[in-house]
Amino acid sequence: MISWKNLDTLASFKELQETDAVKLAEVMSGESGAERVKKYSVPMAEGLAYNYAAKAVDEKILDVLVKLAYEAQLSEKFEALYNGEVINTGEKRLVLHHLTRGQLGNAVVADGADKRNFYVEQQKRIADFANKVHAGEITNEKGEKFTTAVQIGIGGSDLGPRAMYIALENWAKKTGHFKMEAKFISNVDPDDAAAVLASTDVAHAIFILVSKSGTTLETLTNQSFVMDALKKQGLDPAKHMIAVTSETSPLARSKDYLDAFYMDDYIGGRYSSTSAVGGAVLSLAFGPEVFADFLEGAAAEDRLSTEKDPRKNAAMLDALIGVYERNVLGMPATAVLPYSQALSRFPAHLQQLDMESNGKSVNRFGEPVSYVTGPVIFGEPGTNGQHSFYQLLHQGKTIIPLQFVGFRNSQIGTDVDIQGSTSQQKLCANVAAQIVAFACGKKDENLNKNFEGGRPSSIIIGDQLNPKTLGALLAHFENKVMFQGFLWNVNSFDQEGVQLGKVLAKRVLAHDTEGALAVYSDLLNI
Amino acid sequence: MISWKNLDTLASFKELQETDAVKLAEVMSGESGAERVKKYSVPMAEGLAYNYAAKAVDEKILDVLVKLAYEAQLSEKFEALYNGEVINTGEKRLVLHHLTRGQLGNAVVADGADKRNFYVEQQKRIADFANKVHAGEITNEKGEKFTTAVQIGIGGSDLGPRAMYIALENWAKKTGHFKMEAKFISNVDPDDAAAVLASTDVAHAIFILVSKSGTTLETLTNQSFVMDALKKQGLDPAKHMIAVTSETSPLARSKDYLDAFYMDDYIGGRYSSTSAVGGAVLSLAFGPEVFADFLEGAAAEDRLSTEKDPRKNAAMLDALIGVYERNVLGMPATAVLPYSQALSRFPAHLQQLDMESNGKSVNRFGEPVSYVTGPVIFGEPGTNGQHSFYQLLHQGKTIIPLQFVGFRNSQIGTDVDIQGSTSQQKLCANVAAQIVAFACGKKDENLNKNFEGGRPSSIIIGDQLNPKTLGALLAHFENKVMFQGFLWNVNSFDQEGVQLGKVLAKRVLAHDTEGALAVYSDLLNI
């Protein structure tokens, strides 16, 4: 029997608050530090490992975090989720993104269909479509091959797929999997669509309109933008567009599209990279096999996330430590710092995933909670960030926990040896150095050059960023965010906070305003 | 006589702590809200205006902020800075980036030269060089025109110039100022350089190596990467590269470059967009006249920043309100939210500018301060962010102040009319709606749909993003950060916090490690 309780009602949370904090700089120094790095590591899927040696935890704290995991019934809640209970209480929906990549538990039947079958069927339809595009069986009106895929979507229909595309683009070019370039139009700012279209050979472009509801204002507006551009070149928009939407949306089964592929209400936008939302663009860009590998990596990580013992479950442990940092140590933000240029937009995706899921003030029953919930998430790839905001991370007044990601090998493999080391070695040396610098610091009598240390971080280490490891990485963070939502007792799968702005924007456009809103509208010449 | 005092020793700061907080949702409602939007606006340069109606201030708080500005001698300190005092106490350097765009006060002589003359001379040399490149007088070895400029730099040599390039690219294409594409290589990750080079016609590319010291590891490594690529095509690197550096650096007056342009130790990397660091790439991409306009906008805003009355000085007022939010209201972060796709990387630049300048724990005398200093800065363009992290901003437990930017007109001018409004109108309607939604909220009995409001924001509004307004916008934020550094009594112009990581990374590469660092090095196969 699952009971959904607020974090501050749990005995183990109170125990956690009373447990002595760890002096990170001390325990990470000398032999003790070496032992921690060897010991505090959890294997993940596809050869990845989550190393939390530089987190401010020790055996005592870990024991309490284990108790907390059991008391909060994290595994049971995940099990309920993947077995099809209504976990999204606000919108009264199932939460089924895990089913897009595997069957973790019982068959889930909804809307009269087995949902795993439904998602697999869509993947097959997309694979078939993409293969035909690549083979020149589906072409433009002149019978010429499509050479570019342009995704039109915003939020979850943009950030995740875009981050995944960038993550795999160079890998695909190197390994011969690259089929066509993908571009993305998201913002309602007309300069976004105009600039993308100006740099695109629209006669050979296939556009992917992505909106679950089929009513997203930005996306419909940008669709019109694109249709105008196609018509101006004498092209038939219906021969250049596909839709990714829900079966009940106005976009489904429309003659305006070459074809349509489906997701449903059980896949939140920010969890949709492994659904048709990511599937269409990634299969067109890299081929269906690459997308299948991506799903395989995610599925493998999902299976590991079902492990009940948090010390063997990287996502669960990451979640528990994050809640400890947020709710006991009082840290307001988390920086995501991938040492991989290919992951340059991965932090922006995690920013949505995490902040939209857990940036809540009420629990799943709509009651206010008295503790803080999701942190601010931000980040840029290393080593770039070192020359930017790391100053504050090292010497600022507020301690920000850090989430590093690093790979032993680059994707392209081209490298230079300067001063006795390759660029890839320099990259890896820097992330290793940063972890220790943050944790241990370094005393200096000149306080301006003093590093207090005690700044916690973890690192996920892998051999190389490729479709499988990317899938595992994505699933890790999705599941981490889910477990944190369980701990905070919030509904991580709705986003009511985005509604009011939409309502007021409509009122502005209808000139139905008064007070401050009317004056702002004037100032902006609306 | 200037006295440099810690914030918490100032009488007006204590008064600020004791002044009643403003109930933002109340004062921004109804007629009072309308009045505030009309009244709480400060004109900036180039037709911009800083509107702070939705900040949690009222006449009482503003009066105390004015006192604080005078007691902290903000104007006097700025005057000392632009008149050439050693404001960067840590590195014992003058701080002269304002001189790159105008002469605010006395002539400043350093290193035996009038520094304004020095910066103007470099601008003229760059203009002359760029004009010759555009005219085909400086060409590749075959006498063919260069078609792409590739900047090699990291941190301040990358983020600012890249953000400015992206900000003006579409404007330049639309207005006929576009001369050549610019690309950027920054990360030591070999996949960064490899990917940029793979997509570049290197035979027609001119590379700009940017490093003040001439010793930045990432930049020198990437230079070698590029030289390898040029040599492989049988090209002479020295005929394809220019340097931007200090006159004392190993890169100065070297035969390895077509030419070299100079900055100096008085320009911090994050303040270097208006120096030769931004000048070379922007003049090559858009022509020297565009760069001159950009400087003109910055200079005009600088002059306004010398105004002593904070209620007439947007940068100073922005700084004061930010300190009030951080040190009295206890808010840990600030989100930068430009409603302009062209400003997509502007938040990343401000992230460096702000966090590297004021992420400090000691005052300018090297003594620890007992109050918090610079906040975490993050952001993405609107409306994209609305579909991502705004959930937390609207309904999260931690209030994050917001800095909006909006323009009445787009850059390209192509637009569509859907449902009775253009995309540009929709964009503007959204930012107006968001400000009011954040400030006023909306009551709902279902607490999951309830918006408490009381979330402060400001907006900078302009007609269009162009070189002059971009310059003014940049100078506003540079000066805001400077004034905040004065208030916190920190040195905003050094960055000792980046040193320890560099030292440890070198040790890793020399295999001179022990303890945790040795084990991390093993795990990463270094």
Same domain, B127 and B89: no
Same domain, B484 and B513: no
Mean pLDDT across A350-371 = 98
* Of the residues A292, A321, A336, the one at which a domain ends: A292
CA angle, A58 then A61 then A63, to 5°:
105
Residues in chain B predicted with pLDDT less than 50, given as ranges, are none
Residue B135 lies in a domain: yes
Bridge-based pairing state of the strands A259-263 and A333-339: unpaired
- Provide the Cα torsion B306, B312, B318, B319; round to 10°: 40
Same domain, A50 and A157: no
Mean pLDDT across A359-377 = 98
Residue A2 lies in a domain: no
Residue B17 lies in a domain: no
Same domain, B484 and B503: no
Q: What was the pLDDT predicted at A303?
A: 98
A67 as an active site residue: the answer is no
The structure tokens listed for A248 are 């009940």
Q: Is A389 on the interface with B (CB under 8 A)?
A: yes
Same domain, A233 and A247: yes
Mean pLDDT across A437-458 = 97
Residue B427 lies in a domain: yes
Residue A88 lies in a domain: yes
Same domain, A150 and A250: yes
Same domain, A443 and A512: no
Is the Cβ pair A436, B408 closer than 8 Å?
no
Q: Is A460 on the interface with B (CB under 8 A)?
A: no
Residue B16 lies in a domain: no
Q: What was the pLDDT predicted at B217?
A: 87
A360 as an active site residue: the answer is no
Q: What is the pLDDT of residues A335-356, one digit of tens each?
A: 999 999 999 999 999 999 999 9
Q: What was the pLDDT predicted at B1?
A: 87
- DSSP three-state, residue B51: strand
Handedness of CA B157, B158, B163, B168 (dihedral sign): positive
Position A217 pLDDT exceeds 90: no
Of residues B494, B384, B496, B449, the one with CA closest to residue A269? B384
Give contacts of A496 with chain B, Cβ < 8 Å.
Answer: 395, 448-449
Specify the CATH number for the domain of residue B266: 3.40.50.10490
* Of the residues B232, B258, B292, the one at which a domain ends: B292
The structure tokens listed for B93 are 């350097």
Give contacts of A416 with chain B, Cβ < 8 Å.
Answer: 190, 221, 224-225, 228
Q: CA–CA separation, B331 vs B345, rounded Å?
A: 24
Q: What is the pLDDT of residues A142-176, one digit of tens each?
A: 999 999 999 999 999 999 999 999 999 999 999 99
Q: What was the pLDDT predicted at A46?
A: 98
Whether the CB-CB separation of B465 and B407 falls below 8 Å is answered with yes
Residue B65 lies in a domain: yes
Whether the CB-CB separation of B336 and B401 falls below 8 Å is answered with no
Give contacts of A515 with chain B, Cβ < 8 Å.
Answer: 28-31, 33-34
CA distance A128 to chain B (A): 30
Query: Helix H segments across A337-466?
Result: 346-358, 390-395, 423-440
Q: Chain B 401-420, CB below 8 Å of chain A: which residues? A: 406, 408, 410-412, 414-416, 418-420
- DSSP three-state, residue B221: helix
Same domain, A506 and A457: no
Q: What was the pLDDT predicted at B253?
A: 86
The structure tokens listed for A165 are 């595309």
Same domain, A152 and A288: yes
How many structural domains does chain B have?
3
Kindly indicate whether the ipTM for this predicted assembly is greater than 0.85, answering yes or no.
yes
Q: What is the pLDDT of residues B213-264, one digit of tens each?
A: 998 889 999 999 999 999 999 999 999 999 999 999 989 989 999 999 999 9
Residue B8 lies in a domain: no
* Of the residues B263, B292, B321, the one at which a domain ends: B292
Q: Is B311 on the interface with A (CB under 8 A)?
A: no
Same domain, A359 and A392: yes
What does residue A79 show for φ and ψ, rounded to 5 degrees? -60, -45
Same domain, B332 and B403: yes
Same domain, B381 and B268: no
Q: Where are the beta strands (DSSP E) in B200-332?
A: 205-210, 241-246, 259-263
Domain with A512 in it: 499-526
Q: What was the pLDDT predicted at A523?
A: 97
pTM over cut 0.90: yes
